[in-house]
Each structure stands twice: as C-alpha cells, then as structure tokens.
Amino acid sequence: MSVELRRLEPRDLDTVEEIERASYPTPWSRAMFVAELRKPSSLALGAYTEEGLVGYAFVSRYVDAWHVMNVAVAADHRRRGIATTLLERLFEVTASDPRSGYTLEVRVSNLHAIRLYECLGFEARGIRRGYYTDNREDALIMWREPASSEEAS
C-alpha cells in the first residue's frame, strides 16, 4: 500500500472528523481542528492512499517541546505503520529545532498507542489524574528527547 504524506488543508476536515469520531470517545470538534490548522506554531500532516485521507497527526510548538496533539488512523487502515510513518515525518520536519523534545498524553488503557510511542522513543514521565472528561481516566504523560546533533547528521 502506497501512502503519501502532505499537509492537511481545510478541505480535508470532513474526512478528519469522520476518522476522529470513529477513533475517540470524546472527539475533537471541527473548531478545534480549524484552530490547529490556523495556528502558526502547529503542523498537521495527513496520510493519503488511493482511497483518500486515511490518517492524520497534529503537533504544536510550545516553549520547550513539540506537543503531539492528535493522531488517528481510519479503523480499516490501522496496524499498517501509518501512524508511525506520520510521526516519523513530523520528527523529521521539526528536527531543525534541537532544543525541544516531544511530549504527549495518552489514555493509560490505550496499550497499543503506548507501545507505538515507546517504539518511537517516548518514555513515560508521569500521570495526569482524571485527565479525560468522558470517564475521568488518567493520562500517561510521555516524553521523547530531541535527536542529538550526532543523530541528526
């Protein structure tokens, strides 16, 4: 399966919303996606196949880190490396910012996502108690150090 990565655009939001609603118990609203697309400190990538958009990832630049805000892949395209490909590309695109690492929150029950993030170099750094509003589930805080200058060359 061939996957093309490119920046998400407003015209992609209908499909983004479909994937989002099928992926999360408390999906982002369209306004949240629009705000991220407009934010100069954010980057949003989509994964496209011959079928169209099948996955996406959003990151936002904060003072000391890139925050992985949202990653989702359509159910019938999961476990094919699409999320890994999206995140690895985001790491490449942001690699010129050597002073920052990457952080994210993930449901403590989402073992597949936790394993994915661990394979990408993230480590658990703490817990946000009651973080998710739908069921008060805790979030695992994960961190990935920036690539060293030796790795980047």
Domains of the chain plus CATH, in order, are: 4-152 (3.40.630.30)
Nearest alpha-carbon partner for 125 in 81, 58, 72, 65: 65
Structure tokens, 67: 């925050």
In the DSSP assignment, the letter for residue 12 is G
pLDDT at position 102, please? 95
pLDDT at 148: 59
User: What local confidence, expressed as pLDDT, does residue 151 receive?
Assistant: 47
SS3 content of the chain, % helix, strand, coil (to 5): 35, 35, 35
pLDDT above 60 for 14: yes
More confident residue, 134 or 107: 107
Tens-place pLDDT, residues 28-63: 999 999 999 999 999 999 999 999 999 999 999 988
What is the per-residue pLDDT for 64?
A: 83
Residues involved in catalysis: 105, 117
Mean pLDDT lowest among 31-40, 75-84, 88-97, 108-117: 88-97
